[in-house]
């Protein structure tokens, strides 16, 4: 099983980062991990310097920093007891770079982030902080969308993960992602669905044969002792991968999707337009992206 001992949750005080903090807090409690809560103040750079005086830019940056510090102090002051948490406040740098360097320095095992930030981005787009971290981080990343009304959150920040959806194409990146899915199912005593989508089906007979082979492969990948802590449900569907994943997650009210991706170079070249990007962007629940 994967080791999750150090969790990083970058926050920007948006709704999605508040929800990400709830997930990070819950995961830290379940795994007995240390939680690092990080906020980065990015310096305002005027696109047209001729129309904005330098002293105005400095005043704006000072105001932004003071407001961020105030909110950060309130968050740390209201932190729940019984959890090892460290609050890290950093200024004047690109948020993605600070997150990545901090994750490397602290040997972070899992990064938990919201999918949009203070600039009002409501989805994963090129140039967003999450997009840059997804491309370059070594550790798995849990991408949490804006608050979903059907996910119950307790006053202790605990998240009720009852159904986990693991998606696989049987590529080399799948086994490690399955390890995380199994570990999470064990920690939360959740039902685990194993989904494979067959694309390019030409006939019903051909699909049935592929379905039987895929079901056998899905069952073979799960250790026998998994039934001791989770109900494991293998599923095979036909269609476009990202559409079937999203539809199945909606049909089963999944609380978490786990998906594997290949190494950093492949992610950098193929993240956007890929199944992973679309599931993160359009899926109904948080998505854990695990890299080989």
Question: Which residues, at least 6 apart from 119, have a Cβ–Cβ distance to it below 8 Å?
Answer: none
Contact of 102 with 6, CB cutoff 8 Å: no
Write the burial class of residue 219 (CB in 10 Å: 0-12 exposed, 13-18 middle, 19+ buried).
exposed
Residue by residue, DSSP assigns 235-291 as EEEES-HHHHHHHHHHHTT-SEEEEEE--HHHHHHHSTTSHHHHHHHH-SS-EEEEE
Q: What is the pLDDT of residue 63?
A: 53
**Are residue 181 and residue 280 in the same domain, yes or no?**
yes
**Are residue 73 and residue 11 in the same domain, yes or no?**
yes
Please name which of 40, 1, 200 lies closest in space to residue 133, comparing C-alpha atoms: 40
Q: What is the pLDDT of residue 117?
A: 40
**Are residue 140 and residue 269 in the same domain, yes or no?**
no
**Are residue 72 and residue 188 in the same domain, yes or no?**
no
**Are residue 130 and residue 175 in the same domain, yes or no?**
no
Q: Which domain holds residue 247?
A: 163-291
Integer Cα distance of 139 and 263 in angstroms: 11
* Residue with token string 């602290």: 106
Q: What is the pLDDT of residue 153?
A: 42
Domain final residue, candidates 81, 112, 144: 144
- Alpha-carbon torsion, ordered 7, 12, 14, 15, to 10 deg: 0
Per-residue three-class SS string for 100-149: HHHHHHCCCCEEEEECCCCCCCCCCCCCCHHHHHHHHCCCCEEEECCCCC
**Are residue 192 and residue 111 in the same domain, yes or no?**
no
**Are residue 25 and residue 135 in the same domain, yes or no?**
yes
**Are residue 45 and residue 111 in the same domain, yes or no?**
yes
Q: Strand, helix or coil at 41?
A: strand
Is residue 51 included in any domain, yes or no? yes
Give me the helix-helix angle, 275-282 and 241-251, nearest 10°. 30
Q: What is the largest CA-CA distance in the chain?
A: 72
**Are residue 47 and residue 115 in the same domain, yes or no?**
yes
Is residue 113 included in any domain, yes or no? yes
Token readout for 234 is 């293998």
Domain final residue, candidates 144, 178, 207: 144
Indicate if the alpha-carbon torsion angle 259, 210, 250, 255 is positive or negative. negative
CATH number of the domain at 172, please: 3.40.50.620
Q: What is the pLDDT of residue 122?
A: 42
Token readout for 90 is 């950093």
Q: What is the pLDDT of residues 202-229, one digit of tens each?
A: 777 778 889 999 999 999 999 988 888 8
Domain final residue, candidates 98, 117, 144: 144
Average confidence score pLDDT of the chain: 82
Which DSSP letter does residue 159 get?
B
Q: Which residues of 192-204 are buried (b: 16+ CB within 10 A; e: fewer)?
A: bbbbbbbeeeeee
**Are residue 196 and residue 253 in the same domain, yes or no?**
yes
Is residue 154 included in any domain, yes or no? no
The count of structural domains within the chain is 2
Contact of 221 with 175, CB cutoff 8 Å: yes
Residues of the chain with pLDDT under 50: 46, 48, 57, 117-123, 126, 148-155, 269, 272
Q: What is the pLDDT of residue 242?
A: 94
Q: What is the pLDDT of residues 253-287, one digit of tens each?
A: 999 999 998 755 555 545 545 888 889 888 999 99
Is residue 149 included in any domain, yes or no? no
Integer Cα distance of 204 and 7 in angstroms: 45
Write the burial class of residue 51 (CB in 10 Å: 0-12 exposed, 13-18 middle, 19+ buried).
exposed
Token readout for 143 is 């991408």
Q: Other C-beta atoms within 10 Å of 113: how many? A: 28
Is residue 151 included in any domain, yes or no? no
Please name which of 130, 137, 139 lies closest in space to residue 2, comparing C-alpha atoms: 139
Is residue 236 included in any domain, yes or no? yes
**Are residue 10 and residue 140 in the same domain, yes or no?**
yes
Please name which of 245, 235, 238, 254 lies closest in space to residue 274, comparing C-alpha atoms: 245
Is residue 152 included in any domain, yes or no? no
**Are residue 124 and residue 73 in the same domain, yes or no?**
yes
Is residue 157 included in any domain, yes or no? no
């Amino acid at each position: 099983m994967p080791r999750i001992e150090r969790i990083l949750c970058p926050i920007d005080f948006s709704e999605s980062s508040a929800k990400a903090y709830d997930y990070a807090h819950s995961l830290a409690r379940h795994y007995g991990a240390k939680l690092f809560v990080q906020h980065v103040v990015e310096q305002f750079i005027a696109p047209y310097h001729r129309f904005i005086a330098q002293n105005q830019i400095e005043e704006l940056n000072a105001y932004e920093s003071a407001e961020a510090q105030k909110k950060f102090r309130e968050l740390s002051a209201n932190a729940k007891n019984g959890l090892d948490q460290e609050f890290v406040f950093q200024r004047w740098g690109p948020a993605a770079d600070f997150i990545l360097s901090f994750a490397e320095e602290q040997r972070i095992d899992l990064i938990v982030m919201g999918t949009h930030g203070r600039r009002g981005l409501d989805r994963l787009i090129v140039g967003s902080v999450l997009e840059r971290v997804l491309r370059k981080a070594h550790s798995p990343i849990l991408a949490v969308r804006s608050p979903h009304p059907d996910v119950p959150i307790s006053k202790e920040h605990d998240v009720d993960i009852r159904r986990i959806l693991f998606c696989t194409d049987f590529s080399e990146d799948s086994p490690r992602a399955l390890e995380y899915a199994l570990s999470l199912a064990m920690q939360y005593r959740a039902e685990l669905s194993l989904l494979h989508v067959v694309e390019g089906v030409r006939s019903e007979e051909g699909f049935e044969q592929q379905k039987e082979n895929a079901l056998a492969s899905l069952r073979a990948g799960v250790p026998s002792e998994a039934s001791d802590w989770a109900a494991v449900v293998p599923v095979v569907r036909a269609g476009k991968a990202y559409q079937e994943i999203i539809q199945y997650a909606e049909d089963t009210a999944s609380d978490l999707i786990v998906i594997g991706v290949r190494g950093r170079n492949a992610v950098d070249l193929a993240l956007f337009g890929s199944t992973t990007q679309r599931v993160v962007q359009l899926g109904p629940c948080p998505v854990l992206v695990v890299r080989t």
